[in-house]
Amino acid sequence: MPEKTFVAQKFFWAALAFVLCCATQAEAHFGMVIPSSSTVSDKKDAALVLDIAFAHPMEREGMDMARPKAFTLTHDGKKEDLTTRLTPADIMKHKAWQARYTISRPGVHQFAVTPEPYFEPAEDTYIIHYTKTVVAAFGEEDGWSEPVGLPAEIVPLTRPFGNYAGNVFRGLVLVNGKPAANTDVEVEYYNARGRRAAPNPYFVTQVVKTDANGVFVYGIPWDGWWGFAALSESGEKLDYRGSPKPVEIGAVLWTEFAAPRISSGK
Ligand SMILES: [Cu+2]
């Protein structure tokens, strides 16, 4: 009899540990905006499709995302509202969004998403990830380090397109326009086709910190789309069913790193 109780207890703790482990494992949320192409040199790539989601990109776990508050394009210092172009989509088996935009002008196109606050019960907090990506077109590349003016934003210090896997990426984190020192930046690979596996949960999300000037550095280990989410706490509270909850603010940037191609040398 006591032995049976012992076994039952052991099973209970194992089950509890499993539940807790999975709960913590699914912590790193990322706002996502992934264009069909990060650079456009040919008219055939100019009709962009942009996938917009809120998810766990390395684990390929989606979450339902409410219709974003705003979706904008900044080009040549001018901001254009593309919010009405958002259409519902299914990404990682969850409610997400998609937008189409055909690039007709050369230069740097910065697409940015402002989501509705998302309440995360597991963390008892709201999450708002201001999320952007940069697409360069038709040979021009000026202005890629211009902020678009989001409340929280990563300003790239490495040109955010035309990069190889293995490059080092640097970014400046701005919160309300000021450098955010000593801030965690979570980094994840968008494991869209499930090609990569983490040896254990510690490897799912990579973490670096900004320095005293709000600058972070990360070396990209393999090719694909990589997301950087600089996290800070907004001083404000938002109401959730009658009680005030803290708000996590994320400045998120998605950028693509390509595998170098082998040429025949001819
Ligand atoms: Cu989640």
pLDDT digits (tens, 9 = 90+) for 192-203: 999 999 999 999
Residue 26 Cα, ligand 1 centroid: separation in angstroms? 6
- Which pLDDT belongs to residue 132? 98
Residue 225 Cα, ligand 1 centroid: separation in angstroms? 20
- Which pLDDT belongs to residue 8? 53
Is the residue at 228 inside a domain? Answer: yes
Q: Which two tokens stand for residue 199?
A: 């040896």
Residue 93 Cα, ligand 1 centroid: separation in angstroms? 13
- Which pLDDT belongs to residue 223? 98
- Which pLDDT belongs to residue 22? 41
Q: How confident is the model at residue 260 (pLDDT cuts 50, 70, 90)?
A: confident
Examine the pLDDT at 12 and tell me if it is beyond 70. no
Dist. CA 76–CA 123, nearest whole Å = 39
Residue 56 Cα, ligand 1 centroid: separation in angstroms? 7
Examine the pLDDT at 23 and tell me if it is beyond 60. no
Residue 134 Cα, ligand 1 centroid: separation in angstroms? 25
Residue 101 Cα, ligand 1 centroid: separation in angstroms? 29
Average pLDDT over residues 109-124: 96
**What is the pTM (predicted TM-score) of this model?**
0.90
Residue 181 Cα, ligand 1 centroid: separation in angstroms? 26
Examine the pLDDT at 176 and tell me if it is beyond 50. yes
Residue 36 Cα, ligand 1 centroid: separation in angstroms? 24
Average pLDDT over residues 15-36: 67
pLDDT digits (tens, 9 = 90+) for 122-133: 999 999 999 999
Is the residue at 11 inside a domain? Answer: no
Q: How confident is the model at residue 261 (pLDDT cuts 50, 70, 90)?
A: confident
Examine the pLDDT at 21 and tell me if it is beyond 60. no
SS (H, E, C) 41-110: CCHHHCEEEEEEEEEECCCCEEECCCCCCEEEEEECCEEEECHHHCEEEEECCEEEEEEEEECCCCEEEE
Among 144, 141, 142, 118, residue whose Cα is nearest residue 129: 118
Average pLDDT over residues 93-112: 98
Examine the pLDDT at 19 and tell me if it is beyond 90. no
- Which pLDDT belongs to residue 125? 96
Residue 168 Cα, ligand 1 centroid: separation in angstroms? 28
The values of phi and psi at residue 9, to 5°, are: -65, -45
Mean pLDDT of the chain: 92
Domains in the chain, number: 1
- Which pLDDT belongs to residue 4? 52
Residue 32 Cα, ligand 1 centroid: separation in angstroms? 13
pLDDT digits (tens, 9 = 90+) for 38-61: 999 999 999 999 999 999 999 999
More confidently predicted of 263 and 151? 151
Dist. CA 60–CA 192, nearest whole Å = 7
Q: Which residue range forms the structural domain that includes residue 207?
A: 29-258
The DSSP output letter for 5 is H
User: Do residues 130 and 94 touch, judged by C-beta distance below 8 A?
Assistant: no
Is the residue at 23 inside a domain? Answer: no
Could you tell me what percent of the chain has a pLDDT over 70?
A: 90
Is the residue at 184 inside a domain? Answer: yes
pLDDT digits (tens, 9 = 90+) for 209-229: 999 999 999 999 999 999 999
Residue 229 Cα, ligand 1 centroid: separation in angstroms? 14
Residue 116 Cα, ligand 1 centroid: separation in angstroms? 15
Residue 21 Cα, ligand 1 centroid: separation in angstroms? 14
Dist. CA 208–CA 226, nearest whole Å = 14
Is the residue at 19 inside a domain? Answer: no
Residue 210 Cα, ligand 1 centroid: separation in angstroms? 24
Residue 252 Cα, ligand 1 centroid: separation in angstroms? 16
